[in-house]
Structures are given as structure tokens and as C-alpha cells.
Amino acid sequence: MKFFILKRRRQRCKHLFFSVIIVIFTCYLYLPNLLIGEGVVKHTSVHHRNLTKHVIIKNSFIQSQLSDIISAKNYESTINNYHFIENILQEDHLNDKLKKVSSKSDKKYVYIFRKFFVIVIQVHSRLNYLRELIKSLKEVKYIEQALVIFSHDIYDEEMNQLVKSIDFCATLQIFYPFSLQLYSNKFPGDDPNDCPRAITKEKAKQLKCNNADHPDTFGHYRESKIVQIKHHWFWKLNYIFDKLSLTSRMENLHVLLLEEDHYLFQDSIHIIHQLTDKILSDVDVVSLGYFKGKLQLFDKKEIHLWSKGYWWASSNNIGILVSRKFFEQIKNCSKMFCEYDDYNWDWSLQQVIQKCFKDVVVSLYPTFSRVAHLGECGTHFKSKACDPKVKLGEMKKKYEESKSNFFPRDLNFSGKIFGMRKIKKSNGGWSDPRDHELCKSFVLK
């Protein structure tokens, strides 16, 4: 009897031993792929050769795909769902210029806003936010009249498939050609000999690192992930207005600037049409969002109101509608924009508006914002929860409370907010001459 008991115990131990071996072997084979798929693995050691192999293969594939796009100078894919805009482009063909009206009118001229316009979305890596923005776009009235361009600074197949799945408007993908995915170990990425961010200038000179002579306003050195945002912003404007085959010859082109963590209300294009009708100058701009301090305004009592005031970076930097004439002024001031020591595109724009533009820029905006900023994590937001669901719930609640008042027949003027403010000290982060030259190279001579 004891013999049989011992024999059974040995068999159980033997089975348990083999089970453990199988589990360990399975984890060794498949865990790396799971980790890579979820974006968990960022660094590997020599003790994880199999994992390192998979990371190299994945990165090589991404670099290969992006390199093919860039080396061929084919920054754009084909336009999907082109049939949505084909007829509108033909209708608008004769209205490419701003036209002055006859002397019988009270206005000096009418600001022509075409039916067709471009929405460009600057995309980085937050797939969950981008998914919600696309859902909001689907609900926007007249969205089929726009070409929605997704401007990427990384190559991500899941994002590509999400964009390709859009079936309610024309879409196009373009890729920033100096992505850190391609330049991971050299400028504009992190060159091994670049100076560490927080090192002193004296220590930097001792090390003889690349940009030792050029710390920023606060004594810090460049961070590639931070400066890429301003580079990408300026590149995409220049590319769409001056180089993209469909839009480069459109004299009366308008481009609405959005980012991956924005959210549009259903009547946003309706509001654009109403506000452009109130523009009185070639350099006036429409901003669909407005911030008062750090708070974005969504007062349902003011849903039918609009205001205007001098354009200010922290108040009017969301949902900007850029006309060709406005872009031309930015381009004429590109030297100042590209050399101003501020890593933020909006504060750099503020600098050139006040120091370089020939005319004062007035922003026209709805008092109830029509584009919301959902971002809870990113360059300026450090929340641990990078999930748009909470903010999204708040936006949907605001819409439900106010939806009967959306699509107003006309907007009532609530008042002017004038008084040019003095620009504060720059935010730094943009002092390296290499960044200055790269930025200026985007401009079509």
C-alpha cells in the first residue's frame, strides 16, 4: 500500500514538474510578442535575447515603412473617399479669390469662405483620443464637404487602419519626414553626443557635446521629443499650403487646425460659416475654442453668442481656421518664428503676430466653445489617467443640456475684448541652431 502511495506522489510531482516547464517555455515564446503589442517593453537587457530580437524586428519594420514613404518624397497616401469632395471642388472652382462686392453693399468686401476646406489633425501616439475625435467628426454636419488630413509623426499600423476605416468624408494621411522613429540616434533625434538637458554650460563645454554653446533662456539644452511638436506643426502648414498637389494652387484655401485629443461639437462647421461672414480683415481668424485663464468656456446661456479680441496664444489656440493670407504672413515671418526661443508653436506665433505682422490679428470665436480639449496627459498635462472617457462624458453632458440651442440661425455679438497684452518671457527649449535651420528649411522659397 505504501508503495502505491509513493508511486502516485511521484507521478503527481512528475506531472507538476512538466506542467511548470511547459508554462515557462510558453511564456518565453509568447510573452515578448504580447508585451510589444501593448507597448509595454521599452528597454531590453542582454538576458532577454529573444525579446530584443522581436523589438528589433518590429522597429525595423516601422523604419522600413516610414523610410519608403519619405525616401520616395511621397509624404501623402491617396485620398480616400474622394467622391465626397469631387463635386464641391468643381462648384468652388470659380470662387478661389476673395471678391469685393459692388458699391451698392454696405460692406467694403465680402470674405469668401468656400464650401470646401481642409481639416488637419496633428497626430502623435494617443490612439484612444484619436478614436474619440473621429467619432465626433462623424456627427458634425457638413463634414462631407471637408478633406480631413491626418498628419502623423509616427508610423503606427493600428492608427493607419483606424483612419482607413473612415467612410463618412474624404481623408488623407501625410507623414512628418523628420520623425524621431527615423532619426532615433542622430539629429533631429537624440545624437549620442548631444548635451544632456540639465547640464551646465560650463560642464557642456568640458564634455564638448554638440550644442554646448547654445543653452536656452533657462540654461537647458534641447529635448528632441519636445521640439518635434513645433517642427511638425510648421512643416504640415507649409506642406498643405505650398506643396500638397490638391491644395497648393487653391488661392482661397482655409485649414482648420486640430489635434488628436480634440473633440468637435455637431454644429462646429455651421459656426465657422457664420463667423467667417463677420470677418472684416484679411488677417482676422476664427477660433472655435476659447479659454478664459485655464478654463474652457461651455456656458449654455451663451451658446448663441460670439466675441472678438486680439488673438492671444493661451486663449485662442484651439480650433484655429487659417486662411492662405494668414499663412503667407506667418511664412514671411518664418525667420522669427523659427529662431524664437520657445518650443511652443502658439507662443512663437504670438511673438511674430505682435513683432512681425503688418496688421493686428483679431480672433472671432463662439462664447460657447465648439471644439473641446480632452487631453489629460501630454506635453503640458501630466495626469496619470490618459483616458478620454471622463472628459468625454462631461462634453456629452454639456451637449445634451444644450442641444436644442445648437445650430443658431445667427450669432449675437456679446462684446469686444481688446487691449494688446505684453508677451511674457519665452518658455525656452528652442535655442539650438540646428532646430532653427531645420524649421526654416520647411518654407518653400
Q: Residue 126, annotated ligand binder?
A: yes
Cβ(293)–Cβ(165) below 8 Å: no
Q: Residue 230, annotated ligand binder?
A: yes
Is the model more confident about 379 or about 290? Answer: 290
Distance CA 345, CA 237 (A): 12
Q: Residue 122, annotated ligand binder?
A: yes
Q: Residue 351, annotated ligand binder?
A: no
- pLDDT above 90 coverage of the chain, percent: 62
Residues 6+ apart with CB under 8 A from 393: none
Cβ(288)–Cβ(363) below 8 Å: no
Cβ(146)–Cβ(113) below 8 Å: no
pTM for this prediction: 0.82
| Residue type at 117 in one-letter notation | F
Per-residue pLDDT, 78: 87
Q: Residue 205, annotated ligand binder?
A: no
All cell numbers assigned to 373: 480639449
Per-residue pLDDT, 359: 86
> pLDDT digits over 368-397, tens only?
999 999 986 655 455 555 677 888 888 888
Q: Residue 45, annotated ligand binder?
A: no
Q: Which domains does the chain have, with CATH numbers?
A: 2-60 (no CATH), 77-441 (3.90.550.10)
Is the model more confident about 42 or about 10? Answer: 10
Q: Residue 373, annotated ligand binder?
A: yes
Distance CA 128, CA 126 (A): 6
Which of 172, 169, 171, 117 lies closest to 144 in space, CA to CA?
169
Q: Which residues of 389-427 are buried (b: 16+ CB within 10 A; e: fewer)?
A: eebbeebeebbeebeeebebeebeeeeeeeeeeebeebe
pLDDT band for 59, please (50, 70, 90 cuts): low
All cell numbers assigned to 441: 528649411
Given a cut of 90, whether residue 356 has pLDDT beyond it is yes
Distance CA 419, CA 157 (A): 47
Given a cut of 90, whether residue 128 has pLDDT beyond it is yes
Q: Residue 185 CB: number of other CB atoms within 10 A?
A: 9
Distance CA 145, CA 169 (A): 7
User: What H or E segment, with its residue span, contains residue 415?
Assistant: strand 412-417
